[in-house]
Amino acid sequence: MATQVSEDVAARANAIKEEANALFASKKYEEAIEKYTAAIELNPNVAPYYANRAFAHTKLEAYGSAILDGDKAIEVDPKYAKGYYRRGVGKYALARYKEAAKDFRIVVRLAPNDKDAKLKLDDCEKTAARIAFEKAIASDEVIKRVSDSIDVQSVLVEDSYDGVRIDDGKITKEFVDDMIQRFTDQKKVHKRYAYEIILQARKYFMEQPSLVDVKIPEDSKLTICGDVHGQFYDFINIFKLNGRPSEKNAYLFNGDFVDRGSFSLEIILTLFAYKSLYPTGMYLTRGNHETDDMNKVYGFEEEVKVKFSETMFKMFSETFICLPLAHLVQEKIFVVHGGLSSRDDVTLEEIKGIDRISKGQPGQGGLMSELLWADPQPLPGRSPSARGVGQKFGPDVTENFCKMNNIDMIIRSHEVKQQGYHIEHDGRCVTIFSAPNYCDSVGNKGAFINVTPDTEKGYKLDYVQFDAVEHPKSRSYTGRLGGF
């Protein structure tokens, strides 16, 4: 039953909604959400208020909250097409294709001229059918992996190729330097060498446990970086500021190398090549975007298919499932992309023993998924995540995990921070984010952490901030989430 609201209150609510719209247009999404909420508190009877707030939640990747606001908009007005659309987009972003298809089907019925809804409906139906088909095949026979069957030696490198070559399967510093310059100049590396880079990296990752121990030699340092999300020119700028990777200048990139930005392929090939060149100079953690569901929605799959082929994307997919899930630095710092579990009894040994390769894709529940998706919160305990996957964990959860496992702190990524990093939970939980001016719109700084050995504590942390650099314009590969 609708709440009775006077004309004066309704007018004030509408004025606040207009303020929220202006904030949204200025890309101040958190402030816009606060204003939409204020308008809703005054007048909860207006479906567009909820749909607009859902849109803002979507911009912040809070898809669970967007779905809930879609629910509210539909509750207020069951014939409001935009409510179903916003809810459908939230479900779509979480790879819940069958559910999203139901919402887009209603949108098409209520708004027959909505071409974007028709495209999304078609995509959802085709994707759901493909997934069902693949599951049916998998239940009947073992699917042969592309990585195990491809014959790299049969791929001819034309005489006209003007880049440094890989001879006898050995990736050299000269090759990597040349490849980075090619990428900077917006050229491609030959597909044969891309295959070799992927296969060599995959071999290393397959031999590692799900939790990798990292010791920093006395005369060396380890730099921990967060999300870089396809922002190749900002990614390379880290090396300009901090030195290129080597055995003494090691890096740990903590997930979400791909998606969103237009140069994900260039980043991941560079990281994989450095892993082969310097096995103890480059460490990589799997993020929630090194998964098939996210790559389909946020652009990496399409980017690889456009720049190379579907076969190459399958090789990346088969390699991503081999990436370690966490690292333990100097026996005291737990590094993971998302955060902590919904259980209080998780040990480092349990994490180390996760059979990530057999499991493949993390899904939307369980320990593996939580390590990739969880976020910290200021309040004690745990609560549902606005993302729609994983959960939030409080300072008491962090303290318990650290004490039980005899470690000092956790370093995680997964969230954009205006200063590039954020310290909370009494210093036990640090978020590091390394994609400045995220998606060319947020205006945040990037940051990384230099970790060096220390005789007293075992390690020393130094935080370094940096700004975005200019980059060439390139096509976007995230069209599946367009039309918001």
Q: Encode pLDDT of 46-100 as tens digits.
A: 999 999 999 999 988 899 999 999 999 999 999 999 999 999 999 998 889 999 9
The values of phi and psi at residue 169, to 5°, are 75, 10
**Mean pLDDT for the stretch of residues 301-322:** 96
Q: pLDDT at position 1, please?
A: 58
CATH topology of domain 7-138: 1.25.40
pLDDT over 50 (residue 483):
no
Averaged pLDDT for residues 231-254 = 98
Whole-model pTM?
A: 0.91
Q: What is the pLDDT of residues 254-269, one digit of tens each?
A: 999 999 999 999 999 9
The whole-number pLDDT of residue 241 equals 98
Confidence of residue 421 (pLDDT cuts 50, 70, 90): very high
Task: Determine the pLDDT at residue 478.
Answer: 77
Which pLDDT score is estimated for 479? 58
Q: Answer yes or no: is pLDDT of 144 > 90.
A: no
Residue 24 binned pLDDT confidence (cut-offs 50, 70, 90): very high
> Which CATH number is 152-481 given?
3.60.21.10
> Average pLDDT of 410-439?
97
Active site residues: 289
For the chain, what is the radius of gyration of the CA atoms? 23
Would you kindly state where each structural domain of the chain is located, as residue ranges? 7-138, 152-481
Band (pLDDT 50/70/90 cuts) for residue 318 is very high
